[in-house]
Amino acid sequence: MHRDSLFYQLFAQLPQTLFDLLGIDTPQGYRFDSVELKQTAFRIDGVFVPPDPSGIVYFCEVQFQRDTTFYERFFAEIFLYLRLYRQTFSDWQAVVIYPNRQAEQECFEPYQLLVNSDRLRRVYLNELGSLEALPLSLALMQLTVLPEAEMPTAARLLAERTRTEAVPRPEVIMELITTIVLYKFTKLSREEVLRMLGFTTEELKRTRFYQEVYAEAREDGLQQGLQQGLQQGLQQGLQQGLQQGLQQGLQQGLQQGEAAVVLRQLRRRFGSVPNDLEKRIRQLSADQIEALAEALLDFTDLEAVSDWLDRSA
């Protein structure tokens, strides 16, 4: 799981997550950055910059693998940042997020005083509590460390909480849940993950993902169909008259464009489409193609598509 990227998205979209971890009210105006200290090529996972120089700057690091020199590097990055940007804050606090205590560096010397001070807050995700009781931002963090067998049930629980609780930006939380599950189940498509989260066919059609994918496929398919139609129309125009040929060609082009949309959706869900099945779909009428597009999300395999075509015939 690419956790650095995942936690970057989480902090960027929901910066209150850090303050939920610390158990304090979310202050206003904080900006989240991932900062590279170019003189040494050091990079701090997350820096929460206060809105004015009187505030506290927070350094956040996500550490999921044991590193015997982690604290040496982390404090070196912090103190270099403090020297470079001292005019932008009045105080500082560091937070390290671990999946569990076993991932933490064992020997703290010579930084034991800093590690055990109130300058550093260490968070172990497996000790945060139950998903039902945690704020959604922290439950999202805990979701990243759950075993694969537990993740589908937990993800559906968080999706249901997102639908029923009065939370800000529910669409962002739902997108983050989907992304976390996709990182764990790499062989699933985004559509399959959304179904895992309990989306009905109608809800799925209203998601930004479905609308963007369908619009993109429709545009590509229509462009392809129009090109084919114009070519066919010009050829027919030489024999039957240009106006009649173009009209027929455009109709055929639009029909083929709709067929291309459906075929693209099928390939996204099931991989390659057999030539004979593609040929049958391209021979459908415009009304049949529209009906097939409506039924598409209910299919579980290509055999179901073939059965639908047999019934429609």
The secondary structure of the chain, three-state, reads CCHHHHHHHHHHHCCHHHHHHHCCCCCCCCEEEEEEECCCCEEEEEEEECCCCCCEEEEEEECCCCCCCHHHHHHHHHHHHHHHCHHHCCEEEEEEEECCHHHCCCCCCCCHHHHCCCCEEEEEHHHCCCCCCCCHHHHHHHHCCCCCCCHHHHHHHHHHHHHHCCCCCHHHHHHHHHHHHHHHCCCCCHHHHHHHCCCCHHHHHHCHHHHHHHHHHHHHHHHHHHHHHHHHHHHHHHHHCHHHHHHHHHHHHHHHHHHHHHHHHHHHHHCCCCHHHHHHHHCCCHHHHHHHHHHHHHCCCHHHHHHHHHHHC
The mean predicted confidence, pLDDT, of the chain is 80
pLDDT single digits (tens) 72-95: 999 999 998 998 888 999 999 999
User: 90 and 150, same structural domain?
Assistant: no
Four-CA torsion 251, 256, 259, 265, nearest 10 degrees: -120
pLDDT band at 63 (very low <50, low <70, confident <90, very high): very high
User: 106 and 31, same structural domain?
Assistant: yes
Q: Among 68, 94, 127, identify where a domain stops.
A: 127
pLDDT single digits (tens) 185-238: 877 777 777 777 777 656 555 555 555 545 554 555 556 655 666 566 556 655
Range of 253's domain? 208-312
**What is the rounded CA–CA span in Å between residue 48 and residue 58?**
5
3 contacts 16 by C-beta, under 8 angstroms = no
User: 77 and 4, same structural domain?
Assistant: yes
- What residues contact residue 41 under an 8 Å CB cut-off, 6+ apart? none
User: 97 and 45, same structural domain?
Assistant: yes
Query: Tokens standing for 140?
Result: 């999202």
Average pLDDT over residues 37-65: 82
Q: Cβ of 252: how many Cβ atoms within 10 Å?
A: 19
User: 73 and 173, same structural domain?
Assistant: no
Q: Among 97, 127, 157, identify where a domain stops.
A: 127
**What is the rounded CA–CA span in Å between residue 289 and residue 226?**
16
User: 120 and 2, same structural domain?
Assistant: yes
pLDDT at residue 245 tops 70: no
**What is the rounded CA–CA span in Å between residue 28 and residue 38?**
29
110: preceding bond cis by omega (within 30 degrees): yes
The enclosing domain of 60 has a CATH number of 3.40.1350
User: 99 and 15, same structural domain?
Assistant: yes
State how far Cα 310 lies from the chain centre.
37
User: 122 and 240, same structural domain?
Assistant: no
Single-letter amino acid, residue 36: E
CA dihedral for 141, 142, 147, 148, sign (positive or negative): negative
User: 212 and 153, same structural domain?
Assistant: no
pLDDT single digits (tens) 92-125: 999 999 999 999 999 988 899 999 999 999 999 9
User: 98 and 138, same structural domain?
Assistant: no
User: 72 and 93, same structural domain?
Assistant: yes
pLDDT at residue 40 tops 50: no
CA dihedral for 147, 152, 157, 160, sign (positive or negative): positive
Q: Between residues 292 and 154, which one has the greater pLDDT?
A: 154
Q: Among 72, 95, 127, identify where a domain stops.
A: 127
User: 160 and 39, same structural domain?
Assistant: no
**In total, how many domains does the chain have?**
3
pTM: 0.61
The residue with tokens 């739902």 is 174
